[in-house]
Amino acid sequence: MVYRSSNYLITKLGGSYTPGDYLDLIYTLQFSDLIEQDFQSIQTWQDADTFFEEHTSFIHPVAFTGRPVAGIELWLNLLERLQQIDAINYDRIHKGLPYYHAGIYSLFATKYTEAFEWFGYAFEQDIRTGRIPNPGTPSLWILTFDTRVGHLTQGADYGNTQKLLTEIESLIRNIYQHDSFIITSQSLRGIVKSKIVTSGTTRALRSAWADFLALIMFHNYVKKIIRISPKQEEAQLSAHTALLRLTLILETLIKQVPDYSSYSNVDENSKLGDLFQHIIGPKYGYTYTSSNCFISSDIRKDYNLILNDIHSAESSEAKLAVAFTVAQRIRNYSHHVFNKEYISEEIFENIYLRLVYCILSVIVKLYI
C-alpha cells in the first residue's frame, strides 16, 4: 500500500532532493489534506508502521549518507507537522517506528542520551498500542541486548546492540570482583528482559535503565573530552553530570523494587546511605552505619583526596560499601559545585566504575 501523503512526496520530489525540498513540501496545504485522509485509514499498529516506513524512505537517505543530525531534524519536523494537522489522530496512532529510527540516527551522531530517550519513547509506544510483548520490537531488542542476527534494519539493530553489549562487558571486566558479584552478558540479558524492560514494570524503572545504557555509551566519550580539553568547563560539566546521573539511576533502581515499601526505616525521602544500610548492606552481609562510611574525606573539598581514601579502604573486604559511600557523596554534594572541582580522567574513571559497580550489584541482588 502507498499512502496518499507519501505518494505525493514521491511525485513532487523525484529521485534527487535536499532536506529543504522535503521540508517545503510537508508544510503545504495539499500535504495537510492528504495526511488527514491517511490518518483515517490507519487503524492498527501495523498500518501505522507501514505509513511511517513509507516516510522513512525519504529520511533514511539523508541520515545514512553521513548526515544523521539532519535525519533527526527531519523526523522532528515531520512528527510536529503531523501533530499540527490532526492532533487527535496523531496521538492515537502507533509511533514506535519513527521514534526508534530517531534513536538510531542519534547513536550515529554520538547523541547517546537522546538516542536512549528515543528508544524509551518507542518502547512506551509499543506498550501503549499493543505492539508488546509479542512479537518483539526493535526498541526491545536494543534495550535488552538482543543481538540475534535476524534483527536487521540496514545493519542498525544488530550493530548497535552488539556494540552496547561489548561496552558493558568491557566495563564489567574492569570492575574489581566481589565474591557475591558474578554477572555475565547472558545473565544480564535475562535480568533486564524479565525484570526491568517489560510492560509490567514502572516507566521510571525503564527510564532509569535506558539512561544507564546511554551513560555506558557516553563513558569513553567523556574520557576523551577530559583528555583533550582537561581544563575546559564544558568537559568538567560533562563529567560531573555523568556521575550525578549514575547516582540518580542507582537510587531509582532501589526505590522501584516491587517490595520496596516492605523494608523498615526507608521511605521515599531516604538517602543512599539509608538505602544501603537497610536494604543492600544486609543482602550482601555488610553492617553499615552512617558513622562507618569507610571514606573520611569530604568529597566537596578535593576529589584527589577521595581516591587515596578509596584505595586505602578497599584493602578491606568492604568494596561495595566503599563504592556506595562514593555514590552517597556524589549524590548529596557534588551537584552543588559543578564548576569548582577539577575531575581528571583518572578520577572520573575510578568513580565511574564504582558507581557502575553499585548499579550492577543492585540489579543482581534486587532484580534476580
- What's the rounded Cα separation, in Å, for the pair 313 and 367? 28
Mean pLDDT of 119-138: 79
Mean pLDDT of 109-136: 83
- Look-up: residue for cell 526491545? 140
- What's the rounded Cα separation, in Å, for the pair 90 and 8? 19
- Over 70: is that where the pLDDT of 180 sits? no
Length of the chain: 368
Q: If we measure between CA atoms, which residue out of 106, 95, 104 comes closest to residue 69?
A: 106
pLDDT range class, residue 303, cuts 50, 70, 90: low
- What's the rounded Cα separation, in Å, for the pair 368 and 354? 21
Share above pLDDT 90 across residues of the chain, in percent, rounded to a whole number: 26
pLDDT, residue 221, reads: 86
Q: What is the pTM of this model?
A: 0.83
**CA 178 to mean position of chain CA atoms:** 26
What's the CA angle centered on 39, arms 34 and 45, to 5 degrees?
A: 140
Q: How far is CA 2 from CA 25, 171, 195, in A?
A: 17, 46, 40
- What's the rounded Cα separation, in Å, for the pair 53 and 42? 13
- Over 90: is that where the pLDDT of 181 sits? no
pLDDT range class, residue 24, cuts 50, 70, 90: very high
pLDDT, residue 200, reads: 82
pLDDT, residue 269, reads: 75
pLDDT range class, residue 319, cuts 50, 70, 90: confident
- What's the rounded Cα separation, in Å, for the pair 111 and 108? 8
What is the phi/psi pair of residue 358, to 5°?
-60, -45
pLDDT, residue 342, reads: 73
Contact status, residue 325 vs residue 199, Cβ threshold 8 Å: no
* CA max distance for the chain: 73
Helix (H, G, I), strand (E, B) or coil at 28: coil
Lowest-confidence range among 49-63, 76-90, 220-234?
A: 220-234
